[in-house]
C-alpha cells in the first residue's frame, strides 16, 4: 500500500484529500504546517508528498527544499497544490524548484487520483466516474 503525506493549512481540505486517497486504497498522514510536515516526512517515509504552497509558518517551497536536502527523502515525488491567485510563473517556479507535479485548486477527485497514479501508456478512463466510488470522487476537492 502506497503511503502519501498530505500537507496543507486547511483542515477541511486535508480531510477531503485524505478521505479520497484512503477510499482509493492509500495510507495517509496529514500535517498542517512546515514544521510538522518536515517531521512527518522523516518519520512516515511516504511514497509521495502532496503539499499546499501556502502554510501558516512558511511555504511548501520550504518543505520541498528540506526534502531535497535530506538523503533519506530526496527521492520522494513531490506534488504542489495551490489555489491562491496562481500565475503561470508560480507553477513554473514549483516545477523548476523540483516539484514533480502542480495541481490547481479546486480540482476533481479524479484529477488528483490520475496525477498520483496516471494510466499506463495507451490506457484512458472510459467514463468520467470511478466505478463504485464515482459518487464520492466526482465532487470538487
Residue with the larger pLDDT of the pair 103 and 136? 103
List of E strands, the chain = 3-7, 27-31, 48-52, 54-55, 58-59, 78-82, 101-104
Grid cell 536536502 is found at 69
In this prediction the pTM is: 0.82
Q: What integer pLDDT is reported at residue 120 of this predicted model? A: 52
Return the C-alpha cell found at 4: 502519501
pLDDT digits (tens, 9 = 90+) for 99-127: 999 999 888 999 999 998 865 544 444 43
Domain count, the chain: 1
136 confidence band (pLDDT: 50, 70, 90):
very low
* pLDDT higher than 50, residue 134: no
Taking the CB of residue 78, how many other CB atoms lie within 10 A of it? 25
Return the C-alpha cell found at 98: 523540483
What are the residue ranges of helices labelled H in 79-127?
A: 88-96, 109-116
pLDDT digits (tens, 9 = 90+) for 8-54: 999 999 999 999 999 999 999 999 999 999 999 999 999 999 999 99
Measure the CA–CA gap between 78 and 137, rounded to whole angstroms.
Answer: 22
Return the C-alpha cell found at 52: 499546499
CATH number at residue 31: 3.40.50.2300
Domain holding 118, by residue range, is 3-137
Over residues 59-70, mean pLDDT: 96
Taking the CB of residue 83, how many other CB atoms lie within 10 A of it? 14
Q: How far is CA 70 from CA 31, 37, 39, 53, 108, in A?
A: 18, 14, 12, 20, 32
Amino acid at each position: 500500500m502506497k503511503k502519501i503525506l498530505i500537507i496543507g493549512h486547511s483542515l477541511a481540505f486535508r480531510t477531503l484529500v485524505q478521505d479520497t486517497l484512503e477510499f482509493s486504497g492509500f495510507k495517509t498522514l496529514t500535517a498542517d504546517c512546515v514544521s510538522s510536515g518536515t517531521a512527518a516526512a522523516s518519520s512516515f517515509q511516504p511514497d509521495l508528498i502532496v503539499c499546499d504552497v501556502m502554510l501558516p509558518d512558511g511555504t511548501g517551497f520550504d518543505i520541498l527544499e528540506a526534502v531535497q536536502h535530506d538523503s533519506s527523502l530526496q527521492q520522494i515525488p513531490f506534488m504542489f497544490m495551490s489555489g491562491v491567485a496562481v500565475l503561470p510563473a508560480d507553477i513554473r517556479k514549483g516545477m523548476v524548484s523540483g516539484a514533480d507535479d502542480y495541481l490547481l485548486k479546486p480540482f476533481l477527485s479524479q484529477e488528483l487520483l490520475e496525477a498520483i497514479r496516471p494510466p499506463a501508456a495507451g490506457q484512458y478512463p472510459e467514463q468520467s466516474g470511478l466505478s463504485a466510488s464515482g459518487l464520492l470522487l466526482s465532487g470538487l476537492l
